[in-house]
Amino acid sequence: MNPLEIGALVGLLVAGGSWCMVRSLQRAPRSLAAARHRMYGSGLVVQLSRPQRARWTDSLAAGAPGRWAMRHFGIGLEVLGLTPADVVTRVATSAGIMLFATVSATAALTALGLLPLSPIWPVLVVVLTMLAGWVAISDISSKIERRNRELRQAANDFVQLVAVGLTTDQSVEEAIRFALAVGSSDAFDALREELNTAPQRGVPVWEALDEFGRKFGVRELSEFAASIERQGLQGVSISDTVSSLASSMRAKALDELEREADKANANLSGPTIGFVVTTIVFLAYPLAQRISAAFGG
């Protein structure tokens, strides 16, 4: 490339970067109407674009990528409030951004003469694009696992608080209200919303608890709901049953904490061994050199 072409390429890249920076620093509109107009334009555009966006989302969810996402993540998507189309969109966006970035960087560096022409670069672009898609999938999996752990912890806290309330001679309804008022976390907020909206939906508390437990795979909540149903329909005391359930959930939570601590220690063993070996080699190398020099090596 001659200097004129190089200058044009550099100017194009600088102009694009400057435009992105200016757009990112623009202040948000002051009103909701202005924000809607900036995002969607006129109302006619909104009405015309929504069916297209819906058809595009439906095609993603109904196609092979959407079926794979549903089969791979299962109920975990509902835990995060995602759909198969959301998963495919995130993965495609991540891979597309990486593809554009790597192709642009490789083309620019090759045009500037900083990289030699080689068949390795297309392979590297493909590998990095696939890696970006895998990172997006791994991120969703880790979020699902973390959310499931938070839901189990919220269910554990809820049953523990209800058991505490029953020990103070409160009724089951009062103990549940006490537990809902005391518990605080994002997962607990989801449980609180489910139970608080149950009367408005005409659903008994035990059915709401059982539905929440089945939906998110928390078996203990279903058992707790069965106990509350017996108390509500038959009038039997459930204090001992709830206390036993709380004890078993507490023991299970402690066991999970011990397993996570053991896993963390196992993950640290490799870096620790590597640090010790590196330190020994660093300290022993000068000594080995002196011994070798002393013996004429």
Return d(Cα 78, Cα 6) in angstroms, integer: 51
Residues 70/72/75/81 CA torsion (nearest 10 deg): -70
% of the chain surpassing 70 pLDDT: 76
Q: Give residue 170's pLDDT.
A: 79
Q: Give residue 60's pLDDT.
A: 62
Least confident segment among 13-27, 104-118, 261-275, 277-291: 13-27
* 187 residue type, one letter: A
Res. 42 pLDDT band, cuts 50 70 90: very low
State pLDDT tens for residues 54-109.
455 566 666 777 788 888 777 777 777 777 888 888 888 888 888 888 888 888 88
Q: Which one is predicted more confidently, 102 or 50?
A: 102
| Res. 144: pLDDT tops 80 | yes
Q: Which one is predicted more confidently, 11 or 193?
A: 193
Q: Give residue 69's pLDDT.
A: 80
CB 165 within 8 A of CB 152: no
Return d(Cα 292, Cα 258) in angstroms, integer: 49
| Res. 29: pLDDT tops 80 | no
Mean pLDDT of 148-170: 82
Q: Give residue 8's pLDDT.
A: 58
Instruction: Please say whether the dihedral angle defined by the alpha carbons of residues 153, 159, 162 and 166, taken in this order, is positive or negative.
Output: negative
Q: Which one is predicted more confidently, 46 or 245?
A: 245
Q: Is 245 helix (H, G, I), strand (E, B) or coil?
A: helix
Q: Which one is predicted more confidently, 158 or 58?
A: 158
Helix, strand, coil in percent for the chain, rounding step 5: 85, 0, 15
Q: Which one is predicted more confidently, 77 or 39?
A: 77
Res. 234 pLDDT band, cuts 50 70 90: confident
Residues 221/224/225/230 CA torsion (nearest 10 deg): 170
* Two structure tokens written together for 31: 């009103």
CB 215 within 8 A of CB 125: no
Residue-averaged pLDDT of the chain = 75
% of the chain surpassing 90 pLDDT: 0
Q: Kindly tell me the burial class for residue 258, based on how many C-beta atoms sit within 10 Å of its own C-beta (0-12, 13-18, 19 or more).
A: exposed
**pTM for the whole thing?**
0.59
Q: Give residue 74's pLDDT.
A: 75
Least confident segment among 19-23, 116-120, 131-135: 19-23
Q: Give residue 16's pLDDT.
A: 67
Mean pLDDT of 265-292: 76
Q: Give residue 57's pLDDT.
A: 55
